[in-house]
Amino acid sequence: MTQNEEVTLCMESITKQFPGVLANDQICLDCRKGEVLGLLGENGAGKTTLMNILYGLHQPDSGKILINNQPVEIESPAKAIKLGIGMVHQHFKLVDTLTALENVILGIPSKSSLHLDLSTARKRFLSLCEEYELYVDPSVETWRLSVGQQQWLEILKALYRDAKLLVLDEPTAVLTPAESEQLFKAIRKLTGEGRSIIFISHKFGEVLEITDRITVIRDGHVVGTVLTKEASYSELARMMVGRPVSMERKQRPENPTIEPVLVMKNVEANNDRNLPALKNINLTVHAGEIVGVAGVDGNGQLELAECVVGLRSRTAGTIHVKDHLVNEVMSDPSFVGYIPADRQKVGLFLGLTVAENLVVKDYKKPPYNRHGVLQYDTIRQHAKNLIKEYNIKTPTEEVDASNLSGGNQQKVVVARELSEKPALVIASQATRGLDLGAVESVHDFLLAERNRGAAVLFISTELQEVMSISDRIIVMFRGEIMGEVDGDDADVSVIGQMMLGKVEEVAA
Amino acid sequence: MKKETKTNKFISIPFIGELALSGARPLIGVFLGLLAGAGLIALSGVNPLHAYRAMLEGAIGSPQAIANVLVRASPLLLGGVGVAIGIKSGVWNIGIEGYMYAGAIGAGIIGIMALPVAPIVHIILAMLAAMVFAAVWGFAPAYMRAYRGVNEVVATIMMNYVAIFLTSWLVHEPQFMAEPGSFFPMSLLIAPTAKLPILMKGTSLHPGFIIGIAACVIFYLVLRFTPFGFRTRMLGVNPIGSRYAGVKVKKQILLVLLIGAVLGGLAGAIEILGLKMRVYMDFVAGVGYESVAVALLSGGNPLAVIASALFFAALKAGGATMSIQTGVGAPMTTIIEALCVIFVIAVGHGERMRLRRLEAKAKGTEEVQENDN
């Protein structure tokens, strides 16, 4: 640390233990006057916990916080605000039914208990809007504002309280590219005035664009801090991937891959916020191959999977599975098997038994349904077979699925989706949150599907598993396919750079 | 190495014990509700044991008392099972009151006609008319909920008021249904051929409770053993997953709400044809809402609806006797009903929290192990 630079914030050896999870492990971090510090890490790495400690929402188990070299105890957000810390949460903390201005002055004690001086507040608010070019109509109720404007409002709220240190948690996740540009402009203005910004993100491109230094957090501890202008893409890619990538490839027989199963042409689609999430996707997956989809989380992978199975409607283009045009939910597991990213929310029915979970897509067909009556004997026998075949650890097939461990829950989904021998398999984050043994068995099941002749689309943010299992790898960045590499001689640094949105320079 | 403990995780949750507990839950809740009710009765200066004995006597003390309970239970059985299917599929069908009025109008229109048909045919026609009227009535909120995302609680409650006042308008002169020159606005008397038979002399016991219990059993079997019922249960535990599994979620919600409407309409018809013999504005004041409480107490299980409907009817019937014999106000029974429902929900909530803590504990150790890897 250079001596002449003023340190606004210093967090030393912050440790926070949650029941069962060590969220922050001896984290040290400092942010200097007038700089933008990027805080980079994947979901669940501990970024948000650390910032909640800074904002007084959590108390650290050990470690200390210094502001302007003075040790401080931040026991509440009110104290944090008093110390000049402003926070824009990922999920906004606005009161929907109040106007923009009312939201800003909410919680600030009025000078007189009888009179609320709105006109002064309004003037101050408008001058802040003007100054930072973040325009929000003060008299509009918050629920009418666009998501981007709600974010401006959160920032204005912090500035109204004269925050010297502003924490932005995933600010661009909800913004359009144009809005992001506007935000970056405001950030530069703020740092020019000597304010400091902590910019939390898991998106590399924007962190590299806007920050001065980057601290990378992984699994609750700091991997390292680098100067942005000295940071090389490959170094960041390595830090992002985390553990050293072992190039152990799964052994596989050669499959003649000629028959196209999944054909996507010029596909475009929006995300849940109606912003473009997929741009001109052209992709073909053949029978007997695994196509891996690499990319940092949130670059269109979820939307890609949902489009293919018909859960999300596309705004342009065509998707064919075999010769069938996808225009409704593909729920026939003998045709398409889909292992969704969020098994508890999408794939499983907690509250139904394991046996019932194994037939949620097939219950209408014989032999499970005869003359409008469900054949529970057959359903149970079917479950017994699959429990054995897929090695699902459960006392009986009649147990509620919520009693199984995460790995075995996933095996229930895998068994249901693969046992009918589908022509196309889509696995979306199929191994997230599983222990190594379960990860291994999911990989083996998918590889067996490939060898049987199924077309497999394997989506994962874990580069290592994509590289170990795929025949071909495509890389997604901001909703586009950045490029394709062969699975056998894939180069981490090439893929890593594509994940950051850089293509040609290295591909050559 | 530590993995051993994880694979055995489910053993650490004694789910058979949980199951037994979840079955006992309504009983514990009802017991606590009665206990709290006893406290309130004591506060009003009456020995709660005396009060409850009077209540019991009023409910099952004589064949007439039992008949009275069964008559009171009829609309609760049908309405309760209608709400219960909704609960199973994750929607709150609070419109039973309105469906009963719509059904009563339908049954009334057919019932007051002098039709040259056998009584059984007349009754069936009146009931069918009731179900059709209620289905049409229920379609509006059901469609709004299923296809337009309007909150079903708000929509169905609002429709209740409309139904009640529509009924009032229809039985006022000069509408064709109204009894001319009556001191109180009411419809013409139901034709003798449309009246439900009386099963026991000296009481008003009609076959409504048989229809109600049959409906509960039928819908228990439907939920348990048919594809339609399976879809309903899927929807109840995971709406997002249901869409993913190919369930036409909107259609299913519409159907479930309509079934509730039809059952409510039938309940209204039975009340008119079997007991009230006329349609008028307050002919079932609040029974539709009581059906919601019945369904809540049953936890959405149609078989349990039988027990909880009979329990509510017994409380009501016994409450009258209690009020006469001990001077405790009859509204006390409504209070006790409410207390029972609240305690059942509270016990269930406490149970869920306990399960969640257990789960979090199990999950916590799992995550630590993953970090170790």
DSSP symbols for B140-174: HHHHHHHHH---HHHHHHHHHHHHHHHHHHHTSTT
**Which of the four pLDDT bands, split at 50, 70 and 90, describes residue A233?**
low
Overall residue count recorded for chain B in this entry: 373
- Give CATH 3.40.50.300 domain extents, chain A: 7-231, 260-507
Contacts of B368 in chain A (CB under 8 A): 20-22
Residues recorded for chain A: 508
Name the least confident of A89-98, A324-333, B37-46, B347-356: B347-356
Given B15, B237, B245, which is nearest A399 (Cβ)? B15
A330: nearest CA partner in chain B: B246
- Asked if pLDDT for residue B250 goes beyond 60, the answer is yes
- Nearest residue in chain B measured CA to CA from A343: B241
How many angstroms away from the CA of A457 is the closest CA of chain B?
Answer: 18
B174 preceded by cis ω (within 30°)? yes
- Give yes or no for a contact between B15 and B307, defined as CB atoms under 8 angstroms apart: no
| pLDDT value, residue B351 | 72
If you average pLDDT over every residue of chain B, what do you get? 86
Structure tokens at A403: 């009693």
Q: What is the pLDDT of residue B162?
A: 94
Which among A8, A47, A55, A44 has a CA at the least distance from the CA of A27?
A: A47
Nearby residues of B332 by Cβ (< 8 Å), 6 or more positions away: B37, B40, B41, B44, B319, B322, B323
Mutate to test the interface with B, among A348, A363, A387, A432 (most CBs of B within 10 A): A363
- State the DSSP code for B67: H
Q: Confidence class of residue B348 from pLDDT cuts 50, 70 and 90?
A: confident
First and final C-alpha spacing in chain B: 11
Q: Collapsing DSSP states into helix, strand and coil, what is residue A487?
A: coil
* Bond preceding residue B141 cis, omega within 30 of 0: no
**Quick check: B74 and B208 in contact, CB under 8 A?**
yes
More confident residue, A176 or B346: B346
The pTM for the full model equals: 0.74
A293 CA to chain B: closest CA distance, Å?
21
Region of residue A351 (phi > 0: left; psi between -120 and 50: alpha; otherwise: beta): left
Could you tell me which of A349, A331, A457 has the C-alpha nearest to residue A401?
A349
Helix ranges (DSSP H) in chain B: 3-7, 9-12, 15-43, 48-60, 63-89, 96-111, 119-148, 152-170, 208-225, 227-237, 239-244, 249-271, 287-298, 302-326, 331-372
Provide, as residue numbers in chain B, all residues whose Cβ is less than 8 Å from the Cβ of A331: 244-246
| Chain A contact residues (CB < 8 Å to B) | 18-22, 219, 309, 311, 329, 331-332, 338, 340, 345-352, 356, 360-361, 363-364, 369, 372-374, 376, 393-395, 399-400, 402-406, 433, 435-437
Minimal CA–CA distance to B283: which of B190, B207, B209? Answer: B190
Residue A451, CB-side half-sphere exposure with 13 Å CA sphere: 11
Percent of chain B with pLDDT over 90: 60
> How far from the centroid of its chain's Cα atoms is residue A393's Cα?
29
DSSP A92: -
- pLDDT-based confidence at A506, cuts 50/70/90? very low
Between B233 and A147, whose confidence is greater?
B233
Smallest Cα distance from A38 to chain B, Å: 25
The CATH class, in words, for A7-231 is alpha beta
Instruction: Give the Cα separation of A334 and B194 in Å (integer).
Output: 54
Q: What's the CA gap between A50 and A187, in Å, rounded? A: 21
- Residue in A21, A311, A374 nearest the CB of B367: A21
Residue A425 falls in which region: left (phi positive, over 0), alpha (psi -120 to 50) or beta: beta
> B interface mutation test: which of A405, A417, A462 has the most B CBs within 10 A?
A405
- Tens-place pLDDT, residues A94-138: 888 899 999 998 888 777 777 777 888 899 999 999 999 899 998
Domain segments of chain B as ranges = 73-308
Measured CA to CA, the distance from residue A344 to residue A324 in angstroms comes to 29
pLDDT computed for residue A237 by the predictor: 64
Closest-CA distance of chain B to residue A2, Å:
35
* Nearest chain A CA: its distance from B198 CA (Å): 36
Per-residue pLDDT, A505? 47
Best CATH choice for the domain A260-507 from the list 3.30.70.20, 3.90.76.10, 3.40.50.300, 3.30.930.10: 3.40.50.300
Which three-class secondary structure state does DSSP give residue A378?
Answer: helix
